Structure 1
Amino acid sequence: MGIDRRVARTRTALYDALVALIRRKDYAAITVEDILAEANVGRSTFYAHFTSKDDLLQRSLDRLRDLLVEVQQGQASSHAAGWDPARALFEHVSEYADVQAALAGGHGGAVLREAVDKVLADVLRQAMSAGPVGGLPRELAIQHVVATFNTTLRWWFEHRPEMAPAEVDALFRQLLLCGLPAESAAPFIVSADQA
């Protein structure tokens, strides 16, 4: 059963209000009252949907989950090889780069990172078959994909913010699908013939 249209409109208004406020002021300084005024929503309505400002931020990523699932299902049904969930995620992050930058380093950034990790892991759990992945525990494989995405994302924002999402997606794919050359791990891993 789908969500009631009024509920969807209210949640969208609250999500959009929070994003607008983050673009104008520090996340730590934003109050629930600010969000209510921006969204033109009453206090009881807010608390009927969310428990706090952090809960609103976390659950605003439900839209991201829906986008990833929609792209994934659309690709599966059309057998398309073009735009995929990872690329969709980089495009989405690029669209909201100013919000990401505003939240970076503070409590809001931690809330956002945790929520993105959860969305990614949930989407992967739905998409992956049960059981080991290439001989590795399934949860380890999921955490590896999430960590590789986060590492790529952080590198993008810190070192090459001008890079297009498609280019970042290509780097992510290379790291995830090809890994690093063996010699790059040499300082951390001693091979069996050296031991």
Structure 2
Amino acid sequence: MEKSNDLRVIKTKQFLKEALLVLLKKMDFEEITIMKLTTQAQINRSTFYAHFYDKYDLLEKTINEELLSFVEEVAPKSEEELTLAHIPNPFYVRATKYIYQHGEFFQVMMGENGISSFQQRLLKIIEKYMLDYLEKLHPRPDKMEIPKELFVYYVAHGYVGAISYWLENDMPYSPEYMAEKLSLMTIKGSFHAAGLK
């Protein structure tokens, strides 16, 4: 496959990734064909195969690039940040802003015709951040009142579930609002955040 990074190659790959998102709004991934992708992107089949082996390769590379960009953007910026219980949490602020800025991609990937493995991979990223955060914040995570794995699983799934709700409803709240409320629920607890004493 062609390795060139010239502008034409970059644009062609972008057209194909955009075509993939457009088609995923309308149909399941299994219904998408190379013909549908190339027609949507307005390129020929040989051009597609110059850049990707098949539609699975296109999907994998599209997801990998987006998640790599997400991790680079939202990762903790210092060791000190992992020891702060601030509301809003800096990680949550960066994460919700990134998701908002790339809203269409996340809505498609986590939507009705989305890719289940994408949500699982996003969960793993949040779980890793929460585990790192917990190990810095708690001197003996192995001595917590609940198993740390259970805590991390609960927080990560709650976070991704709330993000899914936000996306499904066309992001009715600002990223800042979401970061604040998600931080509050994570740090203070969901009943406290809701005003239930």
Aligned to 1:117: 123
- In 1: Cα distance, 2:124 partner to 2:11 partner: 23
For structure 2, the 5+ residue unaligned runs are none
Alignment correspondent of 1:73: 77
1:18 and 1:76, CA in 2 relative to 1: closer, same or farther beyond 3 A?
A: farther
% identity of equivalent residues = 10
Deviates more, 1:92-101 or 1:153-162: 153-162
1:128/1:100 CA distance change after superposition, 3 Å: same
State the shift of 1:146 in Å. 0.9
Counterpart in the other structure of 1:154 = 164
Q: What's 1:55 paired with?
A: 60
Partner of residue 112, structure 2 = 105
| Cα distance, 1:144–1:156 mapped onto 2, change above 3 Å | same
Q: Deviations over 1:5-58 (max 9, x none)?
A: x79x9xx879745542244322625556848x96x97747645xx963442244
The equivalent residue for 1:21 is 19
TM-score of the aligned structures, taking structure 1 as reference length: 0.64
Deviation at 1:143, TM superposition (A): 0.9
Secondary structure, aligned partner of 1:26: helix
Per-residue deviation, 1:63: 1.7
Measured after TM superposition, the shift of residue 83 of structure 1 is: 7.1
CA distance in 1, matches of 2:123, 2:181: 19
Root-mean-square deviation (Å): 4.3
Post-superposition offset of 1:172 = 0.7
Note the residue ranges of structure 1 that are not aligned, 5 or more in a row: 1-5, 185-195
Change (3 A) 1:23 1:160: closer
Structure possessing the higher relative contact order (Cα contacts under 8 Å, 6 or more residues apart): 2
Q: Tell me how many residue pairs correspond in the alignment.
A: 172
- Residue 169 (structure 1) aligns with: 179
Please tell me whether the aligned partners of residues 58 and 115 of structure 1 are also in contact (alpha carbons under 8 angstroms): no
| 3-state secondary structure, aligned to 1:181 | helix
1:141 partner letter = F
What TM-score comes out, normalization by structure 2 length? 0.63
